Structure 1
């Protein structure tokens, strides 16, 4: 008999050997079921955390724990169904599990299900029996569809609320949702406001170790302590990633056709870590990622890109700013707290870090901040809908009509990048460059990258419309601050400074001309002026040398003339003195 891989990936593990832990959740559900004052409980948690597995485990376990008829009903693919079809399908599922004849809800399924069929079914149950509806992915009914129509929850949730009051003694509901109750619509919150709720979180360390050692239980693979600790370090109790990682290690070892019971060592774990685990988990991780709100995606991307180290709130804010995102939106400011509540990150001594290292690596690799920044536009759904309305008008050439919805979008979400960029472009087309500039300057304060192209176009437009060279230079310099190699701006700046240099040159102000040419990178003209200045300097030097020689000649001639005169005078004096002393000798 061939060895069997004990790890289950991609499917719920409830009611299988691979289901471990979750005893606290089962206890909480049983506690609610045993008390009539609450006949509903909400289980919530991030995607791929094991919520559906918990429901399947309850489906098997509840009949063993008490007088329960659990009915598992998945709503994932039913968000666009009309209520009548939804109730017909639910009634059929209940009838199948209870082995009753197929239901006939007639022409008015809504009324028949609530007022006739379900009450009669509950009345027909043994007095001590309780029907427990396990409603999976219940929150998908609370989403707006692509056309912005009323969500299914607007009809179904009030209906469910009425059902909860049908028969407290014989009807209980367990709701599973993939987000927090606070993130749902008001009508959904009203349904859950009195119901207790329980988070489905990461597995505890002991449960994770039990999960890793499943292959030891079925005697197909042993694990070294180092290998187990490495998997815990990478998955940190995430049930899907733990199962998937262990399964890859198991498959790799059995692909070698071992002759004896293999042992997974640190080397085998590191091989999976460094090869294909992230790519192999991509679909599941994309599904998890899609469940995050836009602001949380932005912050998660920034934190993941910073590495495995811890990040303070101040450092996080700086990283956001460095990437062109400013912590202005309330959603962005609340994102770290929400990511903690979803078990994606944890706080340690005032610092944030990812709880699951594999997830961090995947986000850093697949969801860098440049790809994620556009998510901010969907933070406020109404604003985003207005933006798309304005965009359609713009595409149809109705530029002026597009202004109002775009301005309303920005009033609801001042940081909606798409609306700001489009509004600025329309204003430019309508020859309102200064208005466009005002919008883009604000955009630049929190998303410089998004504002860059529009600012360049606006500054060029303002430069073209100005007849003042100083103003033109100012706008072209602003363009070059944004793009140092912009060809038109470089050419225009050179021409303006070239004209100013030529003017100084004609006036004979060679030093001023040289300074201007050099600043404008007009190298040929600067070289020509430099040569002229060099020649002038050489000529001046030669003139000074000639003048100095002339002065030396004049001084020398003067000295010679003066010396000759002096010698002649000294001779005469000497003659008189000699004559005097000659006659004195005879007296």
Structure 2
């Protein structure tokens, strides 16, 4: 009996072992396909041609893939993707990539990884290119080398983990394209967190990477998101029902454009992230559509665009950088004097006329247009006019004309002393800013001997007499360009601030909401029309207002005079129609002002502009040297002056006229 028991046990154990071994071997053959691997081994180099269904690395495949990657990265990536798609040879592929990628110069790492992430058959390749060997348990992504950090960055973008992508690209910011990819990941991280209309509207727009960039299509999408942010801010902060409605329509259209048109060109790594973000923002936008409403136009639209006078009050937008700089300069106890310089119609007067609204209430601003003294005959008349403007603004008694005529400087000094020491404290004022517009009139009066040549020195002595008094000069030139001896005393005591073109964002705000946020403007612009206006004007404030003015006239004429249907959204073709002969005639003051100033200053400017007027894409310095006939010294000085005055700009070593409308005007004038 005991023999039977022992026999049964032995037989059971033996059968179990045989069965277990057999099952194990069968599993190994079925899972790892050892038969396929053995065929590849026996076939030698031709083994790679057999059906590749084994997980085990085929002999020699890793070294072959390495050679391919070292010889031709782009072609090798295509071959690697074929292996990943039609075989299970993941191990040799990722091993080859991990061995070869660190061998390249660091300056090439991000670009090469971006090509690897272009359209991989298996995104795990990017993951394990940045991790410990994948066959180890709990493989963890590492950022300890440039190659691993770059691969991790693209992997995390694909996983929509923007926070980790930002951290990964932070490790390679110093490499070529590193700063771009870090900024891109950082921007997508900020944008992806916005989940309400308020959070979208309060987002800070992202700076766009300069060309040439690694991800131009992604930056185009980010630029579209920037516009959505600006429009959502308008929806959230405007009191105008029509403005909010039109802005919301633009938002939905722009997000649809991202999903429909830009989707096909987006890089694979960030494509799903961007599309999901566009979808989320679109849902947020449509959720508030019912609260916005629409407005019907039944009568002629009053033209809100200002083309002659300074823009004052709520319609004044787009100079936050300059006003912020002035605020910081005048926030302390010592007031600094400044000079605002730029072409005519650039908005200098508008800045001066709006200054007081942006300064502490304890500081008074006295605006004086020096055109009023252009015909005076003496220093006494100039100082009397200045004193009368001060008196009128502060509602105090004006000085006696007879006394100031006898001793102009002495009496004006006493007048200011009394003003600063007695009158300002009585009015709870701590500082006085005297803004002198059309500053070049001072030059004319000095040259005509109406003012003494030490007049600027006299003004400087006034500034130095009290820290609570400062001047703001606004004119066409920088002080450095005023080379006459009588300007030298001011060189070290006046801070220059250029007044140049508006930004694209400010240009859009002016056009889309010219009446201010608390009123309705029923017309609208397509994004393409806004882009076209900026391309034509470069943000020149007067020309921006002039185009808007002509478009409103065009709408009123079409609808209410000719009884023709007209879309309330201006298109690119509407903008082109507005640029007619009447437009150039009305804008002639600006165009001739730029042209005359160029002909009066450094020699050669006129010749350069004439040549450039027939070349939309601009010319190189060598082209200009041969086309103008100027000497190298004259050419370089003229180019520098034109650039300083923002008449031309240089991009990719080509000089071109900055404002396209001025180029067209000059081209027609020279024809």
> For this structure pair, what is the TM-score category when the shorter chain's length is used for normalisation?
0.5 to 0.7
Residue 526 of structure 2 is matched in structure 1 by 224
1:158-557 aligned at under 5 Å gives the runs: 158-168=457-467, 170-184=468-482, 185-214=484-513, 218-258=520-560, 262-292=568-598, 293-294=600-601, 295=603, 297-321=605-629, 326-327=630-631, 330-366=633-669
Alignment-derived partner of residue 309 in structure 2: 11
Aligned to 1:42: 339
Q: Which runs of 4+ in 1 moved over 6 A?
A: none
- Taking the aligned partners of 1:36 and 1:160, their CA distance within structure 2 comes to 20
TM-score between both structures, scaled by the size of structure 1: 0.57
CA distance in 2, matches of 1:286, 1:361: 13
CA, structure 1 residues 103+4, in 2 after alignment: closer, same or farther (shift >3 Å)?
A: same
**2:413 alignment partner in structure 1:** 115
**8 A contact 1:44–1:51 mirrored in 2:** yes
Check 1:141–1:279 CA distance in 2 against 1; reply closer, same or farther (3 A cut).
same
Specify the alignment match of 1:429 in structure 2. Answer: none
Q: 1:30 to 1:235 in 2, by over 3 A?
A: same
Residues 525-578 of structure 1: CA deviation (Å, up to 9, x unaligned): xxxxxxxxxxxxxxxxxxxxxxxxxxxxxxxxxxxxxxxxxxxxxxxxxxxxxx
Please, which moves more after superposition, 290-299 or 196-205?
Answer: 290-299
Partner of 2:433: 132
1:12, distance to aligned residue in structure 2 (A): 0.9
What is the TM-score of this pair, normalised by structure 2? 0.50
Cα offset for 1:101? 1.7
Deviation for aligned residue 1:236: 1.1
Which stretches in structure 1 are left out of the alignment for 5+ residues? Answer: 369-587
RMSD of aligned alpha carbons: 2.4
For the pair shown, which has the larger CA radius of gyration, 1 or 2?
Answer: 1
Q: Distance in 2 between matches of 1:160 and 1:313?
A: 42
1:6/1:79 Cα in 2 relative to 1: closer, same or farther (>3 Å)?
Answer: same
Partner residue in 2 for 1:98: 394
1:222 and 1:262 in contact (8 A); partners too = yes
In structure 1, C-alpha distance between the alignment counterparts of 2:448 and 2:392, rounded to whole Å = 33
CA contact (8 A) 2:453 2:486 kept: yes
More off after superposition, 149-158 vs 25-34 = 149-158
Structure 2's unaligned 5+ residue stretches are 1-298
Using a 3 Å threshold, how does the CA distance of structure 1 residues 223 and 151 change in structure 2: closer, same or farther? Answer: same
Distance in 2, Cα, partners of 1:78 & 1:16: 30
Asked if the contact 1:114/1:163 (under 8 Å) is kept, the reply is no
Contact 2:339 2:495 in 1 (8 A): yes
Q: State the shift of 1:128 in Å.
A: 5.0
1:166 Cα deviation after fit:
2.0
Q: How far apart are residue 36 of structure 1 and its match?
A: 4.4
Partner of residue 363 from structure 2, selected from 62, 68, 71: 68
Whether contact under 8 Å (2:558, 2:566) holds in the other structure is: no
* Preserved contact between residue 137 and residue 177 of structure 1 (Cα < 8 Å): yes
In 1: Cα distance, 2:621 partner to 2:566 partner: 52
Matched position secondary structure for 2:465: coil
Q: Secondary structure at the match of 1:311?
A: coil
Instruction: Provide Cα deviations, 1:36-67, integer angstroms capped at 9, x if missing partner.
Output: 455311111122111111101103333xx341
Relative distance call for 1:33 and 1:87 in structure 2 (3 A) is same
Contact 1:87 1:109 in 2 (8 A): no
In structure 2, the partner of 1:399 is none
Structure with the larger RCO, 1 or 2 (CA within 8 Å, 6+ apart)? 1
**Conserved 8 A contact 1:47-1:291:** no
Confirm or deny: 8 A CA contact 1:55 1:134 kept in the other structure.
Answer: yes
The answer to whether the Cα contact below 8 Å between 1:5 and 1:215 also exists between their aligned partners in 2 is no
Whether 2:373 is the aligned partner of 1:78: answer yes
Aligned length: 357
